[in-house]
Amino acid sequence: MKGPSPSIVIFGASGDLTWRKLVPALYNLYVKERLPQEFRIVGHARTEYTHEQFREHLHEGVEKFAEIDSGSWEQFAKNIYYVQGRYDEPGALQKLNDFVKEKEPANASRLYYLAVPPTVFAPIVNSLGKAHMARDNDRWCRVVFEKPFGHDLESARELNAIAHNVLDESQIYRIDHYLGKETVQNILVFRFANAIFEPVWNRNYIDHIQITAAESVDVGHRAHFYDEVGVLRDMFQNHLMQLLTLVSMEPPASFNADALRNEKVKVLASLRPMSPTTLADHSVRGQYEGYLKTDGVDPQSTTATFAALNLFIDNWRWQGVPFYLRSGKNLAEKTTDIVIHFKCPPHLLFDLDSDKEMSANYISLCIQPDEGIHLRFETKVPDTDSRMQSVDMEFHYSEEFGPMALPDAYERLLLDVLQGDAALFTRADEIELSWKLIDAIIEGWQTEYAPPLETYAPGSWGPQRAYNFLDNVGAHWIMGCEEHD
């Protein structure tokens, strides 16, 4: 990659994210020759490290999470430095700035990565402003915010206001790592680079849409954090809303960041707000058995570790089409998929076996773990009059492009920030609209209209009400991405 010589400054550099994700992703980009020829990575955190100790620490992470080659690592590691300090100590950022300046050429651009707890986003941004590190006419400065961006609409607005005091919106990159996943980006390619799907991608042909982001792990060592947020803030406000907007948005005129995000924002603005009277029927909340005994969890906690929502988008394309979303911890499997469930044929010419119902076609967009796409349709069973059987046409990334073809989401996202492409990052208005929807549900769950908080068995598919959640449309949850014989 040609271009300016960036200094990548990571706040919170001694933490897990830097070790597990950021530096392995930067190393992979380096090996693939996608980083500019000259660059430097400067870690900043409270932990005491020399440059060499910091490199050693990162080396372990890269060994674990990337395919390391010792020659390339040595070359790469020469660009890594560490500055110990606290972001809130007087003069600390000045010291950091002086160090970075000494290492970089005069016109070097700056990428600041906030790999820190969300409570310190605002103080760091303010300190960057005070130290005159955030704007410069001669070079670009970009700031990456990890999630969560706020914990409700009000705090997200406050954080946006603080960030906008110091930075232009064009300098702000709010991460949702789901957008860095190849299969999530492929939703747009599938819809808009093929002419055959878009004409049927609407209320005339689609019966309903299901979005599942299930996790088999429990809350683990993040119990304290999780108990404060719950599944709606942790998964729905960000990842599930992203999947929903990508699958339902209108085609943008270009893949330009604003064109794309304008269309996503229109979807979020058209989501029907959940009213107290619809809440009980249109949402399910659950907590897995044993959650209350986890270290770090309040023994009286009513935090939901599972939720299902039935949403509607009030626009011409989607009027009346239910969107069913579910996510939870400690479920039967780790799987993320989207099922586009088409309507049944209006009239059937062929006799059905007495125990069979008419089957609808569906397309499953398999986000993970077996990334790909499946199309289910009916076929005639050979050597019968007209018996039918559902079969799948399947595309698996691993078969087509090899088992290691899919890079980690952070590679793509870091590269995009370096190149100034914000298409896969969340804009201020987008984040506020999705908080507005989620806030209303969280508030409704505190009222008499709330659905019951049901416990569910670890390793199941959630509370009993979730199993029957699609009864309204005469359907059930589909595991469209599983292998079929």
Q: Which residue ranges make up the site for ligand BG6 (CB under 6 A)?
A: 147, 215, 234, 336
The structure tokens listed for 51 are 């440059």
Cβ proximity of 52 and 88 under 8 Å: no
Q: At what angle do helices 51-65 and 23-31 cross, to 10 degrees?
A: 80
Nearer to ligand BG6, 177 or 191 (CB): 177
Please list, in sequence order, all residues whose beta carbon lies within 8 angstroms of the beta carbon of residue 104, skipping any fewer than 6 positions away.
5, 7, 40
In degrees and rounded to multiples of 5, residue 216 shows phi and psi of -90, -20
Q: Which is nearer to ligand BG6, 171 or 183 (CB)?
A: 183
* Nearest residue (CB) to ligand BG6, 182 versus 234: 234
* Catalytic position from the list 59, 239, 282, 374: 239
Q: Which is nearer to ligand BG6, 207 or 234 (CB)?
A: 234
Cα 414 from Cα 91, distance rounded (Å): 28
Question: Minimum Å distance from CB 220 to ligand BG6?
Answer: 9
DSSP 56-86: HHHHHHHHHHS---HHHHHHHHTTEEEEE--
- In a 3-state reduction of DSSP, which class is residue 38? coil
Phi-psi region of 74 (alpha: psi -120 to 50; beta: other; left: phi over 0): alpha
Classified as helix, coil or strand, 103 is helix
Shortest Cβ 368–ligand BG6 spacing (Å): 6
Q: Closest Cα to residue 437, out of 279, 211, 248, 285? A: 279
Q: Which is nearer to ligand BG6, 315 or 368 (CB)?
A: 368
Tell me how far, at minimum, the Cβ of 215 lies from ligand BG6, in Å.
5
The residue nearest ligand BG6 at its CB is: 234
Q: For the CB of residue 48, give the shortest distance to ligand BG6 in the complex, in Å.
A: 29
Amino acid occupying residue 125: V
239 is catalytic: yes
Minimum separation from the CB atom of position 147 to ligand BG6 (A): 6
Which amino acids are annotated catalytic?
239
